[in-house]
Structure 1
Amino acid sequence: MSAQPATTPEQQQAAGDPGSPDGLKAGLKNRHLSMIAIGGVIGAGLFVGSSAGIAKAGPGILVSYALVGLMVVFVMRMLGEMSAANPTSGSFSAYADRALGRWAGFSIGWLYWFFWVVVLAVEATAGAKILEGWWPAVPQWGWALIVMVVLTATNLVSVGSYGEFEFWFAGIKVVAIAAFIVVGGLAVFGVLPHSDNEGAGLAHLSDHGGFLPNGPGAILTGVLLVVFSFMGSEIVTLAAGESENPQRAVTKATNSVIWRIAVFYLGSIFVVVTLLPWDSKAIADDGSYVAALDSIGIPHAGDIMNVIVLTAVLSCLNSGLYTASRMAFSLGQRGDAPAAFARTNARGVPAAAILGSVVFGFVAVWFNYQWPDTVFTFLLNSSGAVALFVWLVICFSQLRMRGIILRENPEKLIVRMWLFPYLTWATIAMISFVLVYMLTDKDGREQVLLSALVAALVVAFALVRDRLVAGRAIDPAASSDASAKETAAP
């Protein structure tokens, strides 16, 4: 499907189309935005990766999740402040462009796009493994291809179809975790009928070596393991630009992020570490959530979790493609990406931006099958710390944008960062500490160094590009003066 010429806000208004100011259609309903906001912080990493954190930190992993959750709450509050004042599909990239300079918006926009197209490959492969287990007649690469094609088609149809798919995907995740917390909580205290769990109450938080069996330092190790499972909470601020009431959507999402993290992350992990001892072999072998369900006596726990994980994977794929395409669209609008990316078709969909993003995703999937331990590992590690870079840029942008908003449109400062600027600087210090601490960890060190290398190359390219653009802007004037003198000379 080829992109048609871009539609302008004036053309949309003349046609009676409630489009957003940047040419996209406001096709996301309030229920879509609400569920995207709730489900955005629930990734497949919560279900799959939490067992590694529990093994490292024991029950103290709760502190790790709480620390990272607090950091995300602060970052989302800052992003909410800027997004409520100026909702746009470019979100923090557009704010960095305004607050820090063209180089910053260009760099963080492309790094974020790179992060999500690599995620497309990771999630497509994860989903394909589950589907191949159910229907082995279709090879794994075939399932990856089917999943990518279906979700690409969904995003190409309209933003409303993306919102509808995400509404149901996120809804399944939310209902599943809520049921897990309620049922597991009852089993923890021995009041769940017919439960196989002994109902030890809070004893498992301290009866196997204490709350911090591996020492206080394990909390920081846990932080490194769980921090990336929170990536995606900022998607709602990109999607808000295509909603009926962007300011209301952003304000609601920002104000609800505290309870979302508290319930879904801390609540579900609390149930796991109270149902079973942290060093239980079942957690290591089967995964934390499957082990917890098995301990209660829920039949077919593994199959149930596979369905939930597949839903989380498809949700992440769907949102990843949407997010990457909207960032590419915003970069195209600002002249930082091919102009075709900034065009929308008759349905208000940036088809070229979607197809450009998914092509790289397909290539990354091929790398994953062809060179999983070399090329694809490099892609993974070189995008691994981008989440922390994004959060840092959000913090620094908010420091400058607060003054710009107050100077130009103070009435738009609907959402305010608490204790500004002290909490903003404290958040910068927290993120910086995590990045530095990652250098002490073998896997973390490789991620930080490779991500920093890629970021440095992108920033260098942006600075050189800005210098060349500035030079071209000056040269025509100089050449016209020279030609004028030559004409006058005879």
Structure 2
Amino acid sequence: MKTRNTEQHIRRGLKNRHIQMIALGGAIGTGLFYGSATVVKMAGPAITLSYLIGGVVIFFIMRALGEMAVAHPVSGSFSQYAYQYWGELPGFIAGWNYWFNYVVVGMAELSVIGTYINYWLPDIPTWVSALVCLVLVTLINVINVKAYGEFEFWFAIIKVLAIIGMIVFGIAMIVFGVGNGGQPVGISNLWSHGGFFPMGLYGVVMSLVLVMFSFGGVELVGITAGEAENPKKIIPQAINQVVWRILLFYVGAMTVILAIFPWNEMETTGSPFVQIFSHVGISAAANLLNFVVLTAALSAYNSALYSNGRMLFGLAQQKNAPKFFGKLNSAGAPVNAVLVSSTFTLITVLVSYLDPEKVFLYFMALATISIIINWAIILIVQLKFRNQRVQAKEPLVFKMPFYPLGSYFCLAFLVLVVVIMAFMPDMRYSLYIAPVWLLCLYIAYKLKPKA
């Protein structure tokens, strides 16, 4: 009954181009455009190596999710898989933790929108900008899935074209001196200020936490499986292409930025993309990039709200959330789930008002630990899923490579990231909150009415 209801009402209106850009939109947000300045201070030019390492781990996690999404393309994604292959409690925790994750991610994205607006209009309070954008994106998400897909496609296209343009322009500065009086910048900035590893391997290791936060969102491909027109064809294409594109954008963009501008002169407030062109005196490029990073934050928040609505809908289908969240409007969008998720992100407006300086770090820490829990659940469930398929001698269309070593390697890496967080004062508090949050979910599961 649950599957039939989902298939009947959640409309398959997302094409390959939508899904590609939804995943890119979720993963290329404040982590790259805003948070990368903080990461650069931790590792210097070696941050490119950190992104490469993180990208490899993300590839395996995505393939683990893809293996299940192709076999079972459902709305609610890995919460449904945890529910089916691990048990009711893991499914309950997976779904609600993912919802919590994207409420917090949405808060992080909203929290920095005011910073970008203030680049042009410094007198507008950051909380006002956050509130206006929240209302706008919420309206987009309650129209229908195709409207959401189109908005996200164009939001993400702006980001992608801007990054490509920035890389091309940066290479022109490096090689031909374009925008630098005809004097080639060269690439000596990559090693001239303390070497390629100015903070040693320690800096690279510590930076892995923020790097993994940056990649949060790629798993949206799995969430979209229930609304893909042809999931068995589109999901493998999207996963394989999204991973290398994200690596190109992160590693390529950061390499160019660090070649153009000394890493040790970069400020941690504002976007490094905007900073660089402001410092070299190209105000038109700086204004354009500020517009881009603003749309990037809107795009990532758009993706976060989309995934929240679908996850709450999936939980309602499992009877792990009130029936209220299973209501769909005439366009087939889970309107109640979207509106409630949007209401929770209003907390951002309050925190932005009370402590605008630290708000992004607060939300980033919470988002990072919840993302790690999500990814760990994906990997564990994939191991159980594969074991059941092998025992039943059922074929797999889209296999995760290097199974099971790839899954165990990624799980060990995620444990390492949690250990690193314990040594970072700004991240440590989230390790205290996570056990309390998981305990609350356990209690909620025990108290929920049994079917």
Alignment TM-score, normalising by the size of structure 2 = 0.91
Question: Cα offset for 1:243?
Answer: 1.9
Question: Cα offset for 1:213?
Answer: 1.3
The answer as to 2:288 corresponding to 1:304 is yes
The aligned residue for residue 428 of structure 2 is: 445
Question: Cα offset for 1:241?
Answer: 1.2
Range with bigger deviation, 308-317 or 117-126: 117-126
The answer as to 2:277 corresponding to 1:270 is no
Question: Cα offset for 1:378?
Answer: 6.9
Range with bigger deviation, 318-327 or 343-352: 343-352
Offset from partner CA, 1:179-237 (integer Å, 9 cap, x none): 1111112222x225453484343322222221111111111111122221111111122
Question: Cα offset for 1:259?
Answer: 1.6
Which amino acid counterpart does residue 208 of structure 2 have in structure 1? V
Task: Measure the CA separation in 1 of the matches of 2:385 and 2:340.
Answer: 31
Task: Measure the CA separation in 2 of the matches of 1:285 and 1:314.
Answer: 19
1:169-208 correspondence to structure 2 within 5 Å: 169-188=155-174, 190-196=175-181, 198-208=183-193
Task: Tell me if the contact between 2:212 and 2:368 (Cα under 8 Å) persists in the aligned partners.
Answer: no
SS at match of 1:244: coil
Residues 342, 406 of structure 1: alpha-carbon distance in 2 compared, 3 angstrom cutoff: farther
The answer as to 2:245 corresponding to 1:260 is yes
The aligned residue for residue 93 of structure 2 is: 107
The aligned residue for residue 70 of structure 1 is: 56
Offset from partner CA, 1:305-351 (integer Å, 9 cap, x none): 22011101110121111111111000000000011211222211111
The aligned residue for residue 102 of structure 2 is: 116
Task: Measure the CA separation in 2 of the matches of 1:125 and 1:425.
Answer: 35
The aligned residue for residue 31 of structure 1 is: 17
Task: Measure the CA separation in 2 of the matches of 1:41 and 1:196.
Answer: 35
Residues 423, 374 of structure 1: alpha-carbon distance in 2 compared, 3 angstrom cutoff: closer
The aligned residue for residue 422 of structure 1 is: 405
2:218 to 204, 209, 233: 233
Residues 404, 45 of structure 1: alpha-carbon distance in 2 compared, 3 angstrom cutoff: same
The aligned residue for residue 161 of structure 1 is: 147
The aligned residue for residue 371 of structure 2 is: 387
**Structure 1, unaligned runs of 5 or more:** 1-5, 11-19, 474-490
Task: Tell me if the contact between 1:169 and 1:315 (Cα under 8 Å) persists in the aligned partners.
Answer: yes
Which amino acid counterpart does residue 14 of structure 2 have in structure 1? L
Residues 136, 61 of structure 1: alpha-carbon distance in 2 compared, 3 angstrom cutoff: closer
Offset from partner CA, 1:225-276 (integer Å, 9 cap, x none): 2221111111122122112112222111111133212210000011111122
| Residue-pair matches, total | 451
Residues 369, 80 of structure 1: alpha-carbon distance in 2 compared, 3 angstrom cutoff: same
SS at match of 2:7: coil
Task: Tell me if the contact between 1:8 and 1:23 (Cα under 8 Å) persists in the aligned partners.
Answer: no
Question: Cα offset for 1:388?
Answer: 0.7
SS at match of 1:208: coil
Residues 198, 226 of structure 1: alpha-carbon distance in 2 compared, 3 angstrom cutoff: farther
Task: Tell me if the contact between 2:156 and 2:296 (Cα under 8 Å) persists in the aligned partners.
Answer: yes
Task: Measure the CA separation in 1 of the matches of 2:359 and 2:169.
Answer: 43
Task: Measure the CA separation in 2 of the matches of 1:214 and 1:176.
Answer: 30
The answer as to 2:317 corresponding to 1:317 is no
The aligned residue for residue 74 of structure 2 is: 88
Offset from partner CA, 1:49-82 (integer Å, 9 cap, x none): 1111111211111111111111111111111111
Question: Cα offset for 1:408?
Answer: 5.2
Question: Cα offset for 1:283?
Answer: 4.7
Question: Cα offset for 1:371?
Answer: 6.9
Question: Cα offset for 1:447?
Answer: 1.8
Question: Cα offset for 1:427?
Answer: 0.8
Which amino acid counterpart does residue 423 of structure 1 have in structure 2? G
Task: Measure the CA separation in 2 of the matches of 1:217 and 1:159.
Answer: 44
Task: Measure the CA separation in 2 of the matches of 1:146 and 1:364.
Answer: 12
Q: Once superposed, what is the RMSD of the aligned Cα atoms?
A: 2.8
Task: Tell me if the contact between 2:180 and 2:280 (Cα under 8 Å) persists in the aligned partners.
Answer: yes
The answer as to 2:274 corresponding to 1:290 is yes
SS at match of 2:282: coil
Question: Cα offset for 1:452?
Answer: 2.9
Task: Measure the CA separation in 1 of the matches of 2:78 and 2:146.
Answer: 23
The aligned residue for residue 478 of structure 1 is: none
1:237-248 correspondence to structure 2 within 5 Å: 237-248=222-233
Question: Cα offset for 1:295?
Answer: 5.9
The answer as to 2:200 corresponding to 1:211 is no
Residues 255, 335 of structure 1: alpha-carbon distance in 2 compared, 3 angstrom cutoff: same
Task: Measure the CA separation in 2 of the matches of 1:142 and 1:253.
Answer: 36
Task: Measure the CA separation in 2 of the matches of 1:145 and 1:445.
Answer: 29
Task: Measure the CA separation in 1 of the matches of 2:393 and 2:164.
Answer: 41
Question: Cα offset for 1:122?
Answer: 3.1
Task: Measure the CA separation in 2 of the matches of 1:376 and 1:211.
Answer: 28
Query: Highest CA radius of gyration, 1 or 2?
Result: 1
**Structure 2, unaligned runs of 5 or more:** none
Percent same amino acid among aligned pairs? 37
SS at match of 1:40: helix
Task: Measure the CA separation in 1 of the matches of 2:187 and 2:356.
Answer: 42
2:36 to 50, 59, 68: 50
Range with bigger deviation, 114-123 or 217-226: 114-123
Which amino acid counterpart does residue 342 of structure 2 have in structure 1? V
Question: Cα offset for 1:294?
Answer: 4.2
2:382 to 384, 395, 398: 398
Residues 132, 61 of structure 1: alpha-carbon distance in 2 compared, 3 angstrom cutoff: closer
Residues 56, 135 of structure 1: alpha-carbon distance in 2 compared, 3 angstrom cutoff: closer
Task: Measure the CA separation in 2 of the matches of 1:427 and 1:446.
Answer: 24
Alignment TM-score, normalising by the size of structure 1 = 0.84
Task: Measure the CA separation in 2 of the matches of 1:292 and 1:374.
Answer: 23
Task: Measure the CA separation in 1 of the matches of 2:358 and 2:46.
Answer: 34
Question: Cα offset for 1:135?
Answer: 5.2
Residues 242, 197 of structure 1: alpha-carbon distance in 2 compared, 3 angstrom cutoff: farther
Task: Tell me if the contact between 1:183 and 1:192 (Cα under 8 Å) persists in the aligned partners.
Answer: no
Question: Cα offset for 1:366?
Answer: 3.0
Task: Measure the CA separation in 2 of the matches of 1:409 and 1:171.
Answer: 42
